[in-house]
Chain A
């Protein structure tokens, strides 16, 4: 097994839906290296969100190993998993998932308060700097419901990055945004990836979004079809003949 920041080995995930057992992931193996900007692509129901949830330690695998930042998540207690999420992972959700009663500044500051590592001054500096990077330094006192969809997603990005996580997971981050705003969000994520070297793993079913990734992991029916270049993945996604480029193994 390679020493990536995320290593997934022969993972299966089953859900019970009444008497029926649904296999969301079937023997998935994947390695993500530090600093990658990787997309998990596939149609609805292919297992993208399940895979992100396993990497994000909000769900556990039925079988197989999920190793995040060197820790096998199956061997961690609930408290340890929560700590791992707080200190290692940042989340960007499709529906933004901001705390509606807190201001933009407080939403971004919240994970730092949970960490309780920085002084008040350091926290302020970090939050303000991030809000400036995402272009919301003039909206710090606004509540989420006073912002547009794009602005909310920028707040979510700032919140995900505020703890300096090793990995940022984004589940369809542009699905609720118009294409122009979506592009701006992806540009922002990409630039933050390049500036900070943070690993980004984002899911999408949109071939336009795949183009932003360094690599695309294609999923279908709970299985990884391959790890490809964005161009190849887009070609597969739109049903064109694939360009002459090598297909890598997923791990």
Chain B
């Protein structure tokens, strides 16, 4: 920056300082909007992160190898036969893998002495589930109870609905993949804290118990849930797996970014039998709840644009006042040889400086506010927990989003300042100098 540019910034800074009250009020407004944007984006990241964690704990890996087995063309079972061979292949061909778990999948009616509930069943081998233990917070009982063949873990809301506690018995009634109904008595070994919407229809039982219920052999499972060292690699690994599995002769379903339970109708209409594999990622398996994230994003965007519009009016007014007050000064500067472009730059510098300081202060305020809210552990009402995938408000400000918020508001304010600055620059020196007021 040359000395002349420094002089323009100096004029801008001192002009703002000359009107401390006006500048402070406007900066507070800009800072407030920025802080709000930082917190909204933080909430967005928090929801996405919580969704990622809960989805990849409860119902999906980062990438999944699942599929359908069809004994006849019109009846399908969501299983992977000979999964050990598939797993070995994945371990050999995909170096990005952190660890793999196999999960049985089912859908059944849970019957207690006083109520019933439809729920998804996850067949889990708890001795090989490092992520599950970290995320699921057991409120009652022990997660190790899932090593018992007839153990089941349910969530708080389900326990309340079914009126059961740890040690109580539930009867599971499920249609098997062979078309008959089967029942199994299981014992509630753990009740875990709810994890938003996703935990409302998921339960976990011992893997062997699930095999027994659905009469599956040891070579068959519901899905291989693959966890990666770097989640950014999801798409790449997905493509890699499709290529490898196809190359090794496995029949593959066409890519379809929907959860497995939404694919039954389509698969049953297709004229093939035997095993076909499907490679999905965590977003595919949760796309039925992604609308929540989308809706919140749209809502936040509308709020932010409305606030920016209000700020824009404020900025325009303040710039107008500033220009009116300094019209004679503009005329003088033009008379002594300042070009129009430089007048524009001078006022633009003022607007940008106002925006930059306001947004930086707001950005810092937003980060501190987010940390404070998260640390306060504010418990959300049940209906909000359903949407936020968590029992408390999680706001996670990230450097990228804070940078975006500060940058976006600063650029918006500089852009808004451009209009009055441009009109100031267009003033004729004689008109500006003879301005009264």
Contacts and interface: CB of A to CB of B under 8 A. Distances in A.
Interface string B421-437: 00000001110010000
A111 B336 contact: yes
Interface in B23-45: none
Contacts of A101: 10-11, 14-15, 17-18
Interface stretch (A29-37, A75-83, A241-249): A75-83
Contact of A114 (B18, B329, B331, B337): B337
A114 B430 contact: no
Contact of B430 (A53, A87, A93, A102): A53
Contacts of B336: 85-86, 90-91, 110-111, 114, 159
A44 interface: no
A116 B3 CA distance: 10
Contact count band on A: 20 to 34
A113 B333 CA distance: 12
A85 to B, nearest CB: 5
Contacts of B334: 58, 82
B215 interface: no
Interface SS, B side: helix
Contact of A113 (B7, B340, B430, B433): B7
B4 interface: yes
Given A56-B335, A87-B337, A101-B18, A110 B7 contact: yes
A238 interface: no
B337 to A, nearest CB: 2
B14 A86 contact: no
B11 A82 contact: no
Nearest to B429: A58
Contacts of B301: none
Nearest to B5: A113
B338 A99 contact: no
B339 interface: yes
A113 B4 contact: yes
A82 B339 contact: yes
Chain A CB count within 10 A is highest, among B15, B17, B430, for: B430
Interface of A: 53, 56, 58-59, 78-79, 82-83, 85-87, 90-91, 93, 95, 97, 99-102, 106, 110-111, 113-116, 120, 159, 163
